[in-house]
Amino acid sequence: MNAHTRRGFLQLAVGGATGAALWSSAALTTASWAKGDPLLATTLGEGLCLISGAGANVLAFRGSEGLLLVDGGLASRSTELLRLALKETGTKKLHTLFNTHWHPEQTGANTQAGKDGARIIAHENTRLWLTRKITTEALPAGYGPLPAKSLPNKSFYTKDSLDFGGEQFAYGHLGQAHTDGDLYVYLRNANLLVAGGVVSAAGWPVMDWQTGGWIGGLVGAYDRLLKIANDSTRIVPANGPVLTRKDLQTQRDMYFTIFDRLVKQLVKGQGPDEVVAMKPAKEFEAQWGDSDVFVKASFKSLWGHYAPDA
CB atoms within 10 A of CB 37: 12
Which residues are bridge partners to 40 per DSSP? 52
**In 3-state terms, what secondary structure has residue 277?**
helix
Residues 173-190: pLDDT tens digits?
999 999 999 999 999 999
How many whole angstroms separate alpha carbon 235 and alpha carbon 232? 9
| pLDDT of the residue at 285 | 98
State CA 129 to chain mean position distance: 15
Rounded average pLDDT over 272-290:
98
State percent of the chain over pLDDT 90: 86
Residues 11-39: pLDDT tens digits?
222 333 332 233 333 333 333 334 467 89
Return the C-alpha torsion angle 25, 138, 251, 270, nearest 10.
Answer: 100
How many whole angstroms separate alpha carbon 262 and alpha carbon 295? 8
**In 3-state terms, what secondary structure has residue 138?**
coil
Task: Output the average pLDDT for the chain.
Answer: 89
| pLDDT of the residue at 37 | 72
pTM of the model: 0.89
How many whole angstroms separate alpha carbon 174 and alpha carbon 254? 18
Domains of the chain: 10-201+216-253 (3.60.15.10)
Residues 84-103: pLDDT tens digits?
999 999 999 999 999 999 99
Residues 209-233: pLDDT tens digits?
999 999 999 999 999 999 999 999 9
